[in-house]
Amino acid sequence: MRAAIGGLISVPRAKLSPRVAARGTIAVALPLLIGGLAGAVLPAVAATLGAYFTGFADLSGPYRRRLRLGFALAVCGALSVLLGALVQPHTVLAVLLIALWGFLAGLLTALGPAGTRVGITGLIVLIVLGEQPQEFSQALLAAAAVFVGAGLQTLLAIAPWPVRGYAPERAAIAAAYRQLTDVDPTGAGPAYPAVLEAHAALQGLDPQRNRTVAGLRILLDEVERARGEVVALAGLRARLEDMDRNDAADEVAAVLEAASAVGAAVAERLTGDPDDLHPDVPPALDDALERAVAAVRARADGPGRAPLTRRGAATRSAALAGQLRAARRIVESTDPDVTTTVHGGAPVFVMPADEPVTVLRANLRPSSAAFRHALRLAFTLAAVATALAVLGLPRGYWLLLTVAVAIRPDFSATVKQVVDRVAGTLLGMLVVSALLEWVVSETWQKMVLVPVFYFFLRTVLAANFALGAAAMAGNAVLIADLLGASAGSLIPERLTYTVAAGAIALAAYLAWPTWERSTARDTLAESIERARSYLRTAADPDASDTDVDAARTVARVALSNARDSAKRLADEPGTPPALVDLAHGVTVHSSRLVQGGMALEAARDAHPEGLARPEARAFAGDVDTALALVATALRTGRRPRPLPPLRADVDRLIAVAPNARLATFATAADRLTDGIGTLNHLLRQDAKAADAQPR
């Protein structure tokens, strides 16, 4: 609650989006302008609502993704209007439809933000327009208007496509290069969101059919490999500092600093001219990187402590410089050997159709948080719709609508949504009542205010939902007034419905909660299992690069999910502090495991034959066994069984490393062993605390 109330006054400037708001406002204002001039207010309002709710979908990122999402929203909105009109005269069918739509909207949260937006938008349109009494011919017209409004919003979102080409994809790759050296050697750094976003941006594009896509794909591969070298170097630098070899550590730091500058230059060129992938990277940056690498290499075979670490640093520094030189060549010139000839076709727009179906099918079980949220939402909406039908409350759809958007899959988000809704609605009603009382009286003035409120809404929505809710509430009154309701009676009615909806949403969640603490252990264990699979693949000399890439991506997603789970866990009331501490500790050390896998990849790229050595295979097998034991202990809360002798494996690796070219592998193995040992310690402490609890 403290976090929710504190969020009422926080407005991060970085999250304000006036440019996106201006684009969406055009789509909202245009139907009203045309409808006002033609005297067709009702179709104009329906089209405006289509554009209005589609604009909430945040149509950003790759253009093909905007097109898919916008089309899905348009179809969902139009279908909601038609189905709502068909069942509206039949109370039982109307309640069942609301419940079904609520269940689908809840289940679609399993597909992430895009699925959530489609489900909620369809539900909102069904409640607002589908519940209005109208003939079927009028419903057809309203559905067509909603589709047109949503389509207009989508067309404006993809309008730069023919001119800017692959600008969003380039921006995503550029962000990965800018964050190239954003690595915390302790393992507590970010979960590589830029790299994950870059993968998502290129997903569905065929590099065999487009030369630019091929170049972007290669640039992503290069930054992935360079990231592995950076992770390895960060670990080596930390090791040198631990050994008081600060001079050598400073030289490694200079390599990372120069690499960061080169990565930033590549990123700047990628986003500088959207039609040209061939920049001139400043030679001074290249020279600085080469000098830094030369200094590290000069010290590699010199006298002093930590010879294996120094040699590993020299190898990794040279490899990193090579990766960045390759990236520079790609952005400087089109290489016929690495890009393909255009075969005339357009990029592939549609992702495999079975992917979302597979995800939804996997969530059709009571243990799924999305499934429980779907049932909770469906039952609550059905109960509210039934009560509204029995009581005959005027414009009860506002109560139903607010309940639909207030109930969230987790407790903290539900509380924040309720607080923001109530506070925002109160503010919005005060503003709009003052405007209607002293400023606005004509229909055209109300039509003008709708896009004005919408512009403010879209500008601040991501930065402060309460302010967005204020604009949303004001617009709701204006649109209802345009549809024939009296604004004077709407304001106290809206306030009452909003407060009641907030109470219903909280009661529904508390009646059947989906507490994060009931699923956190499984989520955390999943991050360990995925990291285990990634390490097993990265250490396998027979695994292909494609297999390693896929395993790395899955491990990163699982780590990101674990971090989100730990955050929700900390926000829930009544969560034992020990469980919160355990969750944060596991996510930190899961990140160390993923970073260790990237260091193994660096060793794999440099000397793949070393992975076949019996010492390397023995270590990889023991790590796999150890992480399986850790994951099992994490799921059950029991004391983990004794782990394999990982430290002895590392000693054997270090002994043969100079001749077996396993210096980098041995260093990565040392850090992985430390991370696994710390995880084991955390789980032993967790089991000890559980045993001490009174039964």
Single-letter residue type at 570: A
DSSP 535-600: HHHHT-TT--HHHHHHHHHHHHHHHHHHHHHHHHHHHSTT--HHHHHHHHHHHHHHHHHHHHHHHH
What pLDDT score does 529 carry? Answer: 93
CA distance 440 to 30: 20
Specify the DSSP class assigned to residue 512: S
Tokens standing for residue 345: 């076709």
CA distance 599 to 595: 6
Specify the DSSP class assigned to residue 346: P
Q: Which of 188, 212, 190, 191 is nearest to 202 (CA)?
A: 212
CA distance 272 to 223: 19
Q: Which of 621, 626, 619 is nearest to 529 (CA)?
A: 626
Inter-residue contact 534 to 547 (CB < 8 Å): no
Mean pLDDT in order along the chain per 10 residues (695 residues) = 64 77 85 80 80 72 77 85 81 89 87 75 75 73 87 83 72 83 56 69 63 74 78 80 81 86 82 50 71 81 69 78 75 42 30 58 77 91 91 82 86 82 84 79 80 86 81 79 66 83 89 82 91 90 84 82 82 80 84 80 74 86 92 88 86 75 75 83 81 59
Burial annotation 76-100 (CB, 10 A radius, 16+ → b, else e)? bbbbbbbbbbebbeeeeebbebbbe
CA distance 490 to 497: 10
Specify the DSSP class assigned to residue 185: T
pTM for this prediction? 0.66
CA distance 617 to 614: 5
What pLDDT score does 303 carry? Answer: 67
What pLDDT score does 222 carry? Answer: 77
CA distance 687 to 690: 5
Please report which helix (H) or strand (E) contains residue 341, including its range: none
Q: Which of 520, 468, 477 is nearest to 495 (CA)?
A: 477
Task: Give every CB contact of residue 81 below 8 A, 6+ residues apart in sequence.
Answer: 46, 125, 126, 129, 130, 139, 142, 143, 146
What pLDDT score does 661 carry? Answer: 66
Give the position of tokens 């080169």.
Answer: 262
